[in-house]
Structure 1
Amino acid sequence: MRLRLLAFAAPLVLLGACGSAPKPDLEARAPQAAADTPYGMFLAGSAALNQGRSDEAARFLDMARLGSGDEALVTERAFTAALMAGDVERAAALAPDGPDASEPGKRMGRLVQAVEALADGKGKPAQALLAGDAIGFPHRSAAALLAPWAAAQAGDVEGSLVRPQVRGDTLVDYFGQLNQAYLFERARRFDEAETDFKVVTAGETPTELAVLAYGGFLERRGRRPEAVALYEAGLQRNPSGVALQAARARAAGGKAAPAPPTVKEGAALALLAPAATMIAAKQGQIGLAYLRLALRLDPQRNDAWLMVGDFLQAGGDVEGARAAYARPKPGSPEFPAAQAKLAWSHQLAGDKAKAVELARRAAASGDPDARLTLADLLRANEQYEEAVQILGGLIGESQTPDWRLYFARGSALTQMDRWEDAEPDLLAALKLRPDEPELLNFIGYSWIDRGERLQEAMAMVERAVAANPRSGAMVDSLGWAHYRLGDYKTAIEKLEQAVELDAGDPEINNHLGDAYWMAGRKDEAVFQWRRVLTLDPDAKIRADAEKKLASGLGPEAPKLAEQK
């Protein structure tokens, strides 16, 4: 039975860097024949930069720059490496300039210098660097959003209240107004601040940043009941929002209101939306650069650290990712998510014992999200009994359990061959989330695999496939339904499509072999079952494939259970 783990960790928020990552033995990685030459250092640094090893790249390229007779050759690469590694101060000193520097390098360099000036409290130089059109595409939006904060630091109150404008840029329109609201509050023009806050939180799906911003403003104005209502509305849209949960608890408990952002904190916040936009647009290097700049201004932005970790993890820099995930401190809203990501990084690296150890340590605090992460890791490591106990506790404690809790417990019970207990959980999840593709597929596949309620199951799987036509697992479920119904021709069509979508899945390949066999295509079936054994199948699938190969009899013909 194919079981999919749910992603229970808190959503990513933004990224930043980890200069604290352990330093590798750089010289050992350099091309041996040329490691002691400037050109060799340049090649090694360029390779490290291309592979996402920013700290290493910065070291090599700085050595190349110092030893090269043509300093301009490597200065721009060294600037980029320093920025990617999070050494913004160094990057500002290396900012490309002069006739030999590229125009994109100059634009980014000017933005970096402006942020470094803000970080040093030098508002007037920052304001000058951000003025005019010197920082053009693709950094115009980031510069426009930073400019009011630079004006505020320079003491130019009226300049700080000018809402930034970039023609056709809805991101600047929205987040420029959010920043303007903060700056109106800073200028003690509270009515105008509230007008802006109301605009950015209007509509059906305001951003969480805007809701938290307006809620904080209401708390500071002594209007806690309104703040609580605003946070609760946000939690109805996103029940798992940890920052919203913390804000609601604070406001409802009468605790001190959050302080408005300082100039540096506001400037860091202004960079988050452009960073997220660049990452979403597959401009990851620029997105990471913006996050590094945001963290130079506000090193305590845990959401940015989580995004940095995600970015580095995806790029293969596991140690750097772990260093980023380690930044949020216990007690912060982001700590459970950070610990979850840290534990999963060890799980993905094959260190399952360390992953569970970290998850247990976080879960000992009693935090529901941390306990959920532990349950998810236990399921991943086939420790279903304990996972079921944890999930049962979480369900029992919640007045309105999340559908995913029922789904997770139901999937664990299914794996324990306790279908009579699993089915009610899965149907409870379906009642709460009737259109969820993963859930529709899981229940449909479970019925199909058991030979039960096949017409209903097929309809569910068809809905799942319609929602996710590129999912090999879901297309496989549909093919397996046709197989169970004895329609081997259609089953083969669907299962071949599923293999194309997910060629390395041993269960899909095993299903295709069975369909080939039942259609009389026995040589192709044997090929598929042999392929299954090369794809690291679990014990059950391996045993099934080996049995069919050894006996030469193929699979048993499908037997349909009585329809319920």
Structure 2
Amino acid sequence: MKERDRNEETEKQYKLALEADPNDIDSHFNYGVFLYEMGRMKEAEVQYKLGLKIDPKDVSVHSNYGLLLYEMSRMEEAEKHYKLVLKIDPKNVSIHINYGLLLESLGRMGDAEKHYKLALKIDPKDVATHANYGLLLSKLGRVKEAEIQYKLGLEIDKDEPLIHYNYGRLLSKMNRMEEAEVQYKLALKTDIKIATIYCDYGNFLQRMGREKEAEKQYKLALKIDPNFAAAHNNYGVLLEMMGNQAKAEKQYKLAVEANPNYAAAYYNYGNILNEMGRFDEAEKQYQLSLEKDPNSADAHYNYGLLLHNMNRMEEAEVQYKLSLENDPKSTEAHCNYGLLLHDMNRMEEAEVQYKLALEADPEDTDTHWNYGVLLEELGRKEEAAMQYLLALEASYDDV
């Protein structure tokens, strides 16, 4: 029997059970879980609500309804159900974990930590709690404490792939690369094949300059999940670095097809089209990227560069300003905004931007050089000569 036929038969049985006994809470609950797993969230919600009408204190229904609401980004409603469960069953480890994850997503890190600690007090050997608490500590920059949690989790289950994976990511951030790679390999050694781990190991290898090995990992990730948008995007970045623009473009296209809301993929696609001289197409991709993420300093900056090169000065200025609103210390944005103002003959304003660029990075070669050109045009020869000299010194340091 095909999976589709099996699912249809399963649903038919749930419906028959509920026709026979509309007050069977287990049937409502199990049918809700089935619908949730099928991605039919609204229908699953109906079943959970019907279950709670029958028994307003059913822990399993509240737990799963809370998880459903969390997945639907209805955080306040999800929190209400988690609180109800903990009122009935204060030692429910799974709910402490799920509630912790919800609180993290709301930015309430201290409250999230409290629930992870409570979960570990109830069950010090719960691997999932150690894993999630480690992730939280890593986000908070408490890397030594995070490492302790990962080690404790692996003492309990030495083969848990997600702990090896997240421990590897942590070690990579700590610049302990050899140890990080060991953890990535251990994560991939298990029978469970997780596309995210292959993709992130590819990212790690790419940072290490091991391009062919990185490519292999991206391909393995996409073999497991052909619609994995991040793997397509990151593989595109790698191919671009390797000089294969045509293949990179294909990966960016696949990334945005898999996830039409993926701002970074539109941005990267725009960059490669810009490099290929397909400016109108590049502009469209930058616009799509900014539609999805209006606060991306990089996307505003590169769109500004494109408009500047297309001689659309006023529009370019708007993009540079937006970029600097989101990243006020960007040397490149200040420098190129200065260059734009120079081209528009707004010399005093250009000088302000060059000075701001040099505040952010006193050794930026391009800024010193462009500032020198500006000063020379203003007749300030000695100051110009000093900027040229500083540009040359900075360029020697870069060699």
- CA distance in structure 2 between the partners assigned to 1:547 and 1:384 by the alignment: 34
- CA distance in structure 2 between the partners assigned to 1:198 and 1:329 by the alignment: 35
1:515 corresponding residue in structure 2: 340
Report if aligned partners of 2:162, 2:187 keep a CA contact under 8 Å in 1: no
1:416 corresponding residue in structure 2: 242
Report if aligned partners of 1:509, 1:528 keep a CA contact under 8 Å in 2: yes
Please report how far the alpha carbon of residue 291 of structure 1 lies from its aligned counterpart in structure 2 after TM superposition: 1.7
CA deviation profile, 1:317-347 (whole Å, cap 9, x unmatched)? 2111111123444997993332232222233
1:351 corresponding residue in structure 2: 176
Residue in structure 2 matching 1:270, options 95, 99, 104: 95
Report if aligned partners of 2:354, 2:367 keep a CA contact under 8 Å in 1: no
1:407 equivalenced with 2:240 (yes/no): no
Pair 511,271 (structure 1): closer, same or farther in 2 beyond 3 Å: same
Residue in structure 1 matching 2:143, options 318, 321, 334: 318
- CA distance in structure 1 between the partners assigned to 2:244 and 2:289 by the alignment: 24
- CA distance in structure 1 between the partners assigned to 2:327 and 2:177 by the alignment: 25
Q: Which ranges of structure 1 fall in alignment gaps of 5 or more residues? A: 1-189, 211-233, 238-262, 536-541, 555-564
Segment of structure 1 superposing worse, 511-520 or 306-315 = 511-520
Please report how far the alpha carbon of residue 351 of structure 1 lies from its aligned counterpart in structure 2 after TM superposition: 3.4
Pair 195,313 (structure 1): closer, same or farther in 2 beyond 3 Å: same
1:192 equivalenced with 2:18 (yes/no): no
Letter in 1 for 2:326: L
1:430 equivalenced with 2:263 (yes/no): no
SS of equivalent to 2:172:
helix
Report if aligned partners of 2:161, 2:187 keep a CA contact under 8 Å in 1: yes
- CA distance in structure 1 between the partners assigned to 2:162 and 2:330 by the alignment: 29
CA deviation profile, 1:496-515 (whole Å, cap 9, x unmatched)? 22122023444444443443
Pair 430,365 (structure 1): closer, same or farther in 2 beyond 3 Å: same
Letter in 2 for 1:271: H
SS of equivalent to 2:260:
coil
Please report how far the alpha carbon of residue 265 of structure 1 lies from its aligned counterpart in structure 2 after TM superposition: 11
CA deviation profile, 1:50-75 (whole Å, cap 9, x unmatched)? xxxxxxxxxxxxxxxxxxxxxxxxxx
Letter in 2 for 1:373: D
Pair 197,437 (structure 1): closer, same or farther in 2 beyond 3 Å: same
Residue in structure 1 matching 2:306, options 473, 481, 493: 481
- CA distance in structure 2 between the partners assigned to 1:290 and 1:312 by the alignment: 13
Higher helix share: 2
Taking structure 2 as the reference length, the TM-score comes to 0.64
1:298 corresponding residue in structure 2: 123
Please report how far the alpha carbon of residue 551 of structure 1 lies from its aligned counterpart in structure 2 after TM superposition: 7.4
CA deviation profile, 1:399-435 (whole Å, cap 9, x unmatched)? 7352322211110121233323322222232333334
SS of equivalent to 1:326:
helix
- CA distance in structure 1 between the partners assigned to 2:365 and 2:156 by the alignment: 47
Report if aligned partners of 1:479, 1:492 keep a CA contact under 8 Å in 2: yes
Letter in 1 for 2:361: L
CA deviation profile, 1:416-458 (whole Å, cap 9, x unmatched)? 333233222222323333342221111113222x162222221
SS of equivalent to 2:92:
helix
- CA distance in structure 1 between the partners assigned to 2:354 and 2:197 by the alignment: 45
Letter in 1 for 2:108: Q
Report if aligned partners of 2:161, 2:190 keep a CA contact under 8 Å in 1: no
Please report how far the alpha carbon of residue 191 of structure 1 lies from its aligned counterpart in structure 2 after TM superposition: 5.2
Pair 360,478 (structure 1): closer, same or farther in 2 beyond 3 Å: same
CA deviation profile, 1:351-395 (whole Å, cap 9, x unmatched)? 344433433443455744433222111223443332123223443
Letter in 1 for 2:250: P
CA deviation profile, 1:54-101 (whole Å, cap 9, x unmatched)? xxxxxxxxxxxxxxxxxxxxxxxxxxxxxxxxxxxxxxxxxxxxxxxx
Pair 398,265 (structure 1): closer, same or farther in 2 beyond 3 Å: farther
Pair 500,518 (structure 1): closer, same or farther in 2 beyond 3 Å: same
1:461 corresponding residue in structure 2: 286
Letter in 2 for 1:196: F
2:202 corresponding residue in structure 1: 375
Report if aligned partners of 1:471, 1:501 keep a CA contact under 8 Å in 2: yes
CA deviation profile, 1:286-305 (whole Å, cap 9, x unmatched)? 32222211222233433322
Pair 372,330 (structure 1): closer, same or farther in 2 beyond 3 Å: farther
2:297 corresponding residue in structure 1: 472
SS of equivalent to 1:338:
helix
Aligned length: 308
- CA distance in structure 2 between the partners assigned to 1:458 and 1:524 by the alignment: 28
CA deviation profile, 1:103-144 (whole Å, cap 9, x unmatched)? xxxxxxxxxxxxxxxxxxxxxxxxxxxxxxxxxxxxxxxxxx
Residue in structure 2 matching 1:490, options 310, 315, 324: 315
Listed as ranges, the matches of 1:75-474 within 5 Å are 192-199=25-32, 202=35, 204=39, 206=41, 267-329=92-154, 335-365=160-190, 367-368=193-194, 369-395=196-222, 397-398=223-224, 400-448=226-274, 450=275, 452-474=277-299
- CA distance in structure 2 between the partners assigned to 1:339 and 1:534 by the alignment: 41
Pair 468,437 (structure 1): closer, same or farther in 2 beyond 3 Å: same
Please report how far the alpha carbon of residue 312 of structure 1 lies from its aligned counterpart in structure 2 after TM superposition: 1.6
Report if aligned partners of 1:441, 1:464 keep a CA contact under 8 Å in 2: yes
1:13 corresponding residue in structure 2: none
1:533 equivalenced with 2:358 (yes/no): no
- CA distance in structure 1 between the partners assigned to 2:103 and 2:235 by the alignment: 37
Report if aligned partners of 1:410, 1:425 keep a CA contact under 8 Å in 2: yes
SS of equivalent to 1:417:
coil
Taking structure 1 as the reference length, the TM-score comes to 0.47
